[in-house]
Amino acid sequence: VKLVESGGGLVQPGGSLRLSCAASGFTFSSYGMSWFRQAPGKEREGVAAIASDGTTRYADSVKGRFTISQDNAKNTLYLQMDSLKPEDTAMYYCAAAPMKTFLLYRWLLQASKYNYWGQGTQVTVSS
């Protein structure tokens, strides 16, 4: 299993970025997928997740600003981030786990449920 994130960078407050996560080595469409982030000195936080049936979950801090999606034909997960704020600055990670892991949809945002992680991509929001 391999997860490779891309698309991070430096953006001004109010700007947008789209992160991508290229997945390989597993049946993408039967997995729960998510984006987590971790800022220095803080715990890893679930940002957005998508179940194999398309159900999505978002952290309250990003609702209405971030959108998670996936392209099963390309085995790629996306995170569209709009109206970015300085507090969104963090390393962003893609994660995956078999959908059978998630007995409840809210578990999709729990880091402990995931067994596959990417290496991360840095997002910095600053003027």
Q: Among the listed ranges 9-13, 51-55, 76-80, 121-125, which one has the minimum average pLDDT value?
A: 51-55
Q: Tell me the average pLDDT of the chain.
A: 96
Percent of the chain with pLDDT over 90: 93
| 113-127 confidence digits (pLDDT tens) | 999 999 999 999 999
- Assign 27 a pLDDT band (cuts: 50, 70, 90): confident
For residue 95, give every residue at least 6 positions away whose Cβ sits within 8 Å of its Cβ, in sequence order, or none.
3, 33, 34, 35, 36, 111, 114, 116, 117, 118
Q: What is the mean pLDDT of residues 19-24?
A: 97
Q: What is the mean pLDDT of residues 85-100?
A: 96
> Both ends of the chain: CA-CA distance in Å?
37
Does 110 score more than 90 pLDDT? Answer: yes
Q: How far apart are CA 113 and CA 119, in angstroms?
A: 17
DSSP-based three-state secondary structure for 92: strand
pLDDT of residue 28: 80
Does 16 score more than 90 pLDDT? Answer: yes
pLDDT of residue 42: 95
Does 29 score more than 90 pLDDT? Answer: no
